Amino acid sequence: MSSDANMRYDRQVRLWGEEGQASIEAATVCVLGASALGTETLKSLVLAGVHSFCIVDDAIVEPADVGNNFFLDEDDVGKSRSQATIDKLKEMNPAVSGLFLNVAPAALDDNQLAQLAKCSVMVGTNLPQEFEAFVASYMYSLGVPFISAKAFGLVGEVHVCVREHTIANSHDENPRPDLRLDVPFPQLVDMVEETRLDDLTPAQLHHTPYILLYFKALEQFRKDHRNPDAFPNNYTQRKQIQEIIWAMRRPNESGSLDSENFDEAKTSITRSFLRTTIPQAVKDILADEACGTSSQPFWIICEALRRFSEDNDGLLPLRGTLPDMTSDSQRYTRLAQIFHDRAQTEADEVYRITKQVEKERGIGDVISQEMCYRFCKNADRIRVQRGEPWDFDRHISTLIRRIKEMRDCEDAETQRIDGAVWLLVLHAAFKFQREKGRFPGTNGVPCPIDTFDLQQRVESLIRMSDESVEKILPRIPMDAVKEMCRFGASELHVVASFVGGITAQEVIKLATNQYLPIDNTLLFDGLTQNATTFRL
Amino acid sequence: MVSVDPLASERWRHIRRLTDRPTAFAPAWFEPGPHNFNFLRNSSVLVIGAGGLGCELLKNLALSGIKNISVIDMDTIDLSNLNRQFLFREIDVGKSKAEVAAAFIEKRVSGCSVTPYNCRIEDKPAEFYRRFTLVICGLDSIAARRWINAMLCDLVQTLPNGEIDQTTIVPMIDGGTEGFKGNARVIYPRMSACVDCTLDLFPPQVNFPLCTIAHTPRLPEHCIEYIKVVVWPKERPFEGESLDADNPAHVEWVLERSMARAEEFGIRGVNRRLTSGVLKRIIPAVASTNAVVAASCALEAFKLLTNTASVIDNYMNFTQIEGVYSGVVHMEKDPNCATCSGGSFLINVSPDDVLEQFMERIVAKFQLRNPYLETLRQKLFWVSDFYPEMIERNKANLGKPLRELVNEGEEILVVADNLSKPISVRVSFS
C-alpha cells in the first residue's frame, strides 16, 4: 500500500486489517439499479476502496431522481441515469474504476448477465419480483453471492443469498480466552513450576499475573479432591477455586489485602476455567465433507486443522494471545512470549500439513504461511454459512408460519407491526406491481382502491402456504396494508441511505470473509427503527 | 397505463407521498397536506460537526428538502478523513471542513443554502442556538456533546405557572459511531432524558496508571504512553514544541523511542499505526456505519419536522458485526440531573477514599479538564493567583479522606475548563 492509500484507509484498516483491505481492493461489485438505493450502496463501497464497480440501469433522470439521489444534479435531468451517476461516484476515490451499462436490469441478455456475473458480489436494488428470482437463481448456480435490497417508503429489505460462504474471522467480540488451564503445554508448565508463591515478597505476589495464580490454585484444588486430573466444572467447584485463590493473599505494607491481580483473578474465573474444547460450530466444519475434497484455501486449511487436532488430543492450535493482566513486566512479557512461540510452532505445523494437502489435491502453492498463521489464531471462530436456492414459495411460507406464531397480531398501544407482516405486505406490493405494471399508491389512483387490491394480493400470498386465510388474514392489520399504499413506491433518501449502508457493509463482509453476514433476510422498519432478521 | 400522477414531475415526490397522505402511524396532531413539506422546507437546522456523520447528515437533510442548513466545525480536512467524509477530496486537505462541506452541498443540491461556521461551538452565544428549529450532532467528543446539551437545556424557559414553555425547546438529535457500532437519540431538552442523564452510557476512557507505564509496562500501549507523558516533556524535542500527533516527525520521534522501550522490556507490537492510534486516541471508522447512523438521525429529524410518523422514544442502537442489530430503548430522564432538572449528581464513595481518588473518579466520569472543587463551606481544590494559600491546602487536601472534608449528602460544586456551567455533585457514603 502506498503511504497515501495507507493514510486514506487508516481508520478502516484498524478494523479489518491489511488482509481485509487487500480483499476489498480486489473486489468487483455489480449494482443493478441506479436509483438512490444503488448509489448509496456504491458510495460506501467506493469510499472503502473496492477495485471496480458496474452500475446497470436504463432509466432517464427525472426531477424526482434529483430530489432523492445525491449522485445526480439538476443538469442531469433527461440523461441516462446510470451514466449520469458514474463520474460523481468515481470522484470520491480516484483508485476505483467504474462502468455503467445503459440497460434495464430485467432486459439484460444472457451474454451481458454472464459478463456481469464475473463480479465478486452482485447487488440488486428494488428489482421486479420475477427478475429478482431469476437473477438470484442464476447467481446461486454460479456460486457468486447476491444481495437483493429494497427501499420502499419507510421500510427496507436486505436479502443475502449465498450458496456457501466461509468466514475465516467472525470478529466475535467476546471470545473466551485460550489459556489451556486444563491442558498446559510444556513451556507453560515449566514457568508454573518455577513459581513459588511462598518465596515471593508481598509486592511480587501482588504483581503475579493471575494465570499463574490459577495454576497454583488448581494444584491445591487437585490435592483437595485427591485427583490429579480434577478440574472445576460447576459453580460450586469454581467457588472453591476462588476461595483457594483468596487464601493466597497476603497483606501489603499498609496492611491491606487489596490487590488488583487478585481482583482480576476473581472476576475472570468463570470465563477462564472452562475445558479447552473445539466449539460445536467448528467441529461441524471440520467434519464437513468439503474438508476431504475441496481445493479452496479455506477448506484446505480446515483439513489441515482436522488432521492437526487428530494428532493433538482433539485440540485446535493455540490462539497465542494472552489477555492483559496486572503483572510486573518481566513475568507478563515472558508469558506472552511463551504463548506466542507456542502458537507460532503449532501454526507452522498446520502450515506443513496444508502443504501436504495441497500436494495430495494436485494444486499449487496457494496458502501462505502468514495466511495460515492468521487462520490458526481465529480457528475457534471460523464459520460457514450455506443458503438454499431462491424459492419464492418457501419465503412466503416461512413468513406466514412466523406470522401464525406471533403472540398477538397487533400491540394496540404501540401500534407496532411485526417485521414479518411488513415483509409479507412488501412482497404483496411487488406482486401488485408484477400483475398491474405499477406499484400501489401510484399513478394518481386513490389509495383506498389500491388498498383493496393490495389486500387481495396479501390474501393470495397466504393461499400459497398451507395456512388458512381466515386464520392468518386477521393478523395482518389493515393499517399496514394502507401504509404500504401510502408509501406509493417512494424511495426516501434517508431510507435508501440506511439500507444502502447496510447493504454495502454486507458486501464487505462477503468480500473479506470476515464478520457474519445477515442470515439471510433483514427487514428494516423505519417507523420504529427496529430491524428483524428472518431465515427465509 | 397513462400516468395521471399529480406529482409525476415533482422533484420532492418521494417525500410528498408521505407528507400529503393519511396514515395510522403519525402523532394525533398530524394533518396530511403540502403544509407539512412547506414547514420542513423552511425550517432551519444546525448540524454540529462536518466529519463522518456531519457529511452524511448534510446530504440527508438537503435531500429531505430542508433549504436552510447551518454547519459548525472548527476542524480542517485530513487525508485519513477521505475514507468516509465523501464531501472532501485530496486537494481539500488542510481546508476548513465546514466551508468545503457547505460549498459542496450547495453546488450539488440546487436551492439548498448551507451556512458554514468555521469555529468552536463554545464561540457561539445562546442567541445563535436559539434561532434553530432543530440541532443535529455528529460529534466524536463527549465534552462537546455535553456542552451543546447543556446549552440547549439552558435555552428552555419556564412559564409563570411553573410549566415549561414549549416554544423555547430546541430539540436535539445526537448520533455517534465507533467501528461497526453506533447510536442515534432524540432529546427534548428538559422534557426527556438528556446527555447528562445517561452519562454512564459512554465507555470509560482508558487511562493507564502512571506507575504501570513507568515501572511495569507490559503492553505496547504502555511504552507509547510512557514516551508521550514522561520522555517528551523531559527531553523537549523540536525546540520545545508540544507533542502534535498530526505532525509525522513527532509521531516518528515517539515511535522510535517507544520501539526501543518495548525492545528493552521484551514487549511486541509497537508499530506506526498503533503509535498514532494511541497518541491521537483514534476511533476506527467506516463509511457504512456513518451512513446508517446519520440516516437514522435524519429520519427522526424528518419525522419531527413533518409529523408524518412518530419520533422514536428515544435511543436507537445499531451494530453490524454479527448480522445486523437495530433497536430502540427508552432512556429515563434523571429527576436529579444537574443539567436538565437542576439537581445534583449523586456519587457513591467510600468515606475513606482520599480527595485525589475522588477527583480521579469525577474526572473520568465527566471527562473534565482542570477541575476545581468547592463546597458551600470551603474550597477543596482550587488553583488561582487570588488564593495563594490554596497551593499548600490543595496538596494536603488531596491526601485527606473525604470524611474529613465533606459530610454525607453535602454538595460539591465542580468547575472545569470544558464545562459551560458548574456541575453539582452530592456524595453518598457507602
Provide the shortest C-alpha distance from residue B273 to chain A (in Å): 8
Which candidate from A153, A493, A519 shows the least CB-CB separation from B64? Answer: A493
Amino acid A408: pLDDT: 61
Residue A227 Ramachandran class (φ > 0 left, ψ -120 to 50 alpha, else beta): beta
Provide the shortest C-alpha distance from residue A138 to chain B (in Å): 24
ipTM of the complex: 0.95
Reply yes or no on whether the pLDDT at B204 is more than 80: no
The verdict on a CB contact (< 8 Å) between B18 and A14 is no
Provide the shortest C-alpha distance from residue A485 to chain B (in Å): 10
> Which residue of chain A comes nearest to B266, CA vs CA?
A333
The verdict on a CB contact (< 8 Å) between A44 and B288 is yes
- Beta partners for B134? B45
Reply yes or no on whether the pLDDT at A140 is more than 90: yes
Which residues in chain B have their CB less than 8 angstroms from residue A40's CB?
A: 291
Amino acid B111: pLDDT: 96
If one counts every other C-beta atom within 10 angstroms of the C-beta of residue B205, the result is 11
The residues near A391 (Cβ < 8 Å, ≥ 6 apart) are none
The verdict on a CB contact (< 8 Å) between A529 and B21 is no
Amino acid A406: pLDDT: 83
On whether the CB atoms of residues B195 and B145 are closer than 8 A, the answer is yes
Which residues in chain B have their CB less than 8 angstroms from residue A419's CB?
A: none
The DSSP string of B146-182 is HHHHHHHHHH--B-TTS-B-GGG---EEEEEEEBTEE
The predicted model gives A313-317 an average pLDDT of: 96
Which residues in chain A have their CB less than 8 angstroms from residue B23's CB?
A: 482-483, 486
The verdict on a CB contact (< 8 Å) between B267 and A153 is no
Provide the shortest C-alpha distance from residue B26 to chain A (in Å): 9
Which candidate from B3, B276, B326 shows the least CB-CB separation from A443? Answer: B3
The verdict on a CB contact (< 8 Å) between B291 and A66 is no
Which candidate from A4, A207, A437 shows the least CB-CB separation from B79? Answer: A4
The verdict on a CB contact (< 8 Å) between B14 and A486 is no
The verdict on a CB contact (< 8 Å) between B11 and A67 is yes
CA–CA separation, A444 vs B60, rounded Å?
27
Reply yes or no on whether the pLDDT at A5 is more than 90: no
Beta strand B411-415 pairing with A383-386: unpaired
CA distance readout (Å), A401 to A155, A408, A420, A432: 21, 14, 10, 22
What would the pLDDT profile of A251-282 be if each residue is shown by its tens digit?
Answer: 887 788 889 999 999 999 999 999 999 999 99
The verdict on a CB contact (< 8 Å) between B108 and A73 is yes
- Mutation target to probe the B interface, by most B beta carbons within 10 A, among A254, A417, A483, A498 is A498
> Which residue of chain B comes nearest to A151, CA vs CA?
B14
Which residues in chain B have their CB less than 8 angstroms from residue A530's CB?
A: 326-328
What would the pLDDT profile of B52-73 be if each residue is shown by its tens digit?
Answer: 999 999 999 999 999 999 999 9
The verdict on a CB contact (< 8 Å) between B266 and A170 is no
> Which residue of chain B comes nearest to A92, CA vs CA?
B86
CA–CA separation, A375 vs A532, rounded Å?
31
Reply yes or no on whether the pLDDT at B343 is more than 80: no
Which candidate from A13, A443, A494 shows the least CB-CB separation from B1? Answer: A443
On whether the CB atoms of residues B49 and B138 are closer than 8 A, the answer is yes
Amino acid A415: pLDDT: 62
**What domains are defined for chain A?**
3-164+492-534 (3.40.50.720), 186-272 (no CATH), 280-386 (no CATH), 392-487 (no CATH)
CA–CA separation, A475 vs A484, rounded Å?
16
To the nearest whole percent, how much of chain B has pLDDT over 90?
69
Which residues in chain A have their CB less than 8 angstroms from residue B273's CB?
A: 10, 13-14
Amino acid A334: pLDDT: 95
Which candidate from B277, B287, B302 shows the least CB-CB separation from A14? Answer: B277
Beta strands across the sheet bearing B315-319: B113-117, B68-72, B44-48, B134-138, B172-178, B181-187, B315-319, B325-329
Which candidate from A14, A64, A501 shows the least CB-CB separation from B14? Answer: A64
> Which residue of chain B comes nearest to A152, CA vs CA?
B14
The verdict on a CB contact (< 8 Å) between A490 and B9 is no
CA–CA separation, B258 vs B226, rounded Å?
8
**What domains are defined for chain B?**
13-200+285-329 (3.40.50.720), 210-280 (1.10.10.520), 345-429 (3.10.290.20)
Provide the shortest C-alpha distance from residue B69 to chain A (in Å): 16
The verdict on a CB contact (< 8 Å) between A329 and B218 is yes
The verdict on a CB contact (< 8 Å) between A43 and B296 is no
The predicted model gives A293-311 an average pLDDT of: 97
Reply yes or no on whether the pLDDT at A193 is more than 60: yes
CA–CA separation, B287 vs A50, rounded Å?
13
Query: Cα–chain-centroid distance for residue A188?
Result: 35
On whether the CB atoms of residues A250 and A219 are closer than 8 A, the answer is no
Amino acid A1: pLDDT: 55
Which residues in chain B have their CB less than 8 angstroms from residue A49's CB?
A: 83
Amino acid A234: pLDDT: 94
Reply yes or no on whether the pLDDT at B2 is more than 80: no
C-alpha cell at A295: 481445493
On whether the CB atoms of residues B403 and B384 are closer than 8 A, the answer is no
The verdict on a CB contact (< 8 Å) between A488 and B17 is yes
The DSSP string of A474-524 is GGS-HHHHHHHHHHTT---HHHHHHHHHHHHHHHHHHHHTBSB--SSEEEE
Residue B211 is a catalytic residue: yes
Amino acid B200: pLDDT: 81
Provide the shortest C-alpha distance from residue B316 to chain A (in Å): 7
The predicted model gives A441-467 an average pLDDT of: 94
Among A81-85, A253-257, A486-490, B278-282, the minimum mean pLDDT is found in A253-257
Asked if the peptide bond before residue B42 counts as cis, ω within 30 degrees of 0, the response is no
Which candidate from B18, B24, B82 shows the least CB-CB separation from A490? Answer: B18
The verdict on a CB contact (< 8 Å) between B216 and A207 is yes
Which residues in chain A have their CB less than 8 angstroms from residue B284's CB?
A: 11-12, 14-15
Which residues in chain A have their CB less than 8 angstroms from residue B64's CB?
A: 492-494
To the nearest whole percent, how much of chain A has pLDDT over 70?
98
Tell me the whole-structure pTM to 2 decimals. Answer: 0.92
The verdict on a CB contact (< 8 Å) between A501 and B63 is no
Which candidate from A8, A15, A518 shows the least CB-CB separation from B82? Answer: A8
> Which residue of chain B comes nearest to A531, CA vs CA?
B326
> Which residue of chain A comes nearest to B276, CA vs CA?
A10
Instruction: Give the three-class secondary structure for B337.
Output: coil
- Mutation target to probe the A interface, by most A beta carbons within 10 A, among B288, B292, B320, B350 is B288
The verdict on a CB contact (< 8 Å) between A483 and B24 is yes
Which residues in chain A have their CB less than 8 angstroms from residue B328's CB?
A: 528-530
- Mutation target to probe the B interface, by most B beta carbons within 10 A, among A147, A329, A533 is A329
Reply yes or no on whether the pLDDT at B142 is more than 90: no
Average pLDDT, chain B: 92
Reply yes or no on whether the pLDDT at B201 is more than 70: yes
CB pairs under 8 A between A and B: 259
Active-site hit among B55, B112, B211, B340: B211
Amino acid A2: pLDDT: 64
Which residues in chain B have their CB less than 8 angstroms from residue A152's CB?
A: none
> Which residue of chain B comes nearest to A91, CA vs CA?
B89
The verdict on a CB contact (< 8 Å) between A64 and B13 is yes
The predicted model gives A463-476 an average pLDDT of: 92
Amino acid B421: pLDDT: 72
Instruction: Give the three-class secondary structure for B324.
Output: coil
